[in-house]
């Protein structure tokens, strides 16, 4: 009986750790809003748990700042044919996604991206509003 209770207690503890390890995008982004930002790729990190795209784009105030776009996980991107070499520093891109809840952080939950020079695109990549 003790062994069963101990096993059950460990399972409950471990399930809580797993559940807290993953977060809801809605906690960090306005998922019901859309923004589109044109900019230049600074860095693309194909890493777990989510890939990150750092790019320089114009703010609503007109200044050029660095944005961080949080993307899908590497497995999902790999299934779509995206590799570490898909986006390179200097590439001009148009990013569409949900804006971050803290505007000063300049974060976007990436839903679509396109590279106008060659027509490459991923996701919805439709025009939104700032």
Helix (H) or strand (E) segment spanning residue 37: strand 35-45
Give the residues across from 93 on adjacent strands.
Answer: 39
pLDDT, tens digit, 9 for 90 and up, residues 15-62: 443 444 556 888 999 999 999 999 999 999 999 999 999 999 999 899
Q: How do beta strands 92-99 and 120-123 pair? A: unpaired
pTM of the model: 0.77
Pairwise CA distance, residues 113 & 107, whole Å: 15
DSSP 53-120: EEEEEE-TTS-EEEEEEE---HHHHHHTT--TTSS-TT-EEEEEEEEBSSGGG-EEEEEEEEETTTTE
Residues 6+ apart with CB under 8 A from 80: 122
Identify the structural domains of the chain with CATH numbers, from first to last: 25-123 (2.40.50.1010)
Helix (H) or strand (E) segment spanning residue 11: helix 2-21
pLDDT computed for residue 53 by the predictor? 98
pLDDT, tens digit, 9 for 90 and up, residues 74-127: 999 999 999 999 999 999 999 999 999 999 999 999 999 999 999 999 996 444
């Amino acid at each position: 009986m003790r062994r069963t209770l101990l096993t059950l207690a460990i399972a409950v503890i471990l399930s809580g750790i797993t559940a807290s390890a993953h977060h809801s995008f809605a906690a960090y982004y306005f998922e019901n809003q859309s923004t589109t930002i044109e900019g230049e790729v600074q860095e693309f990190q194909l890493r777990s748990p989510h890939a990150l795209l750092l790019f320089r784009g114009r703010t609503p105030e007109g200044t050029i700042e660095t944005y961080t776009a949080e993307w899908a996980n590497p497995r999902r991107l790999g299934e779509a044919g995206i590799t570490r070499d898909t986006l390179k520093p200097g590439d001009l891109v148009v990013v569409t996604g949900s804006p971050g809840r803290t505007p000063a952080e300049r974060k976007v939950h990436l839903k679509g991206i396109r590279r106008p020079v060659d027509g490459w695109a991923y996701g919805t990549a439709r025009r939104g509003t700032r």
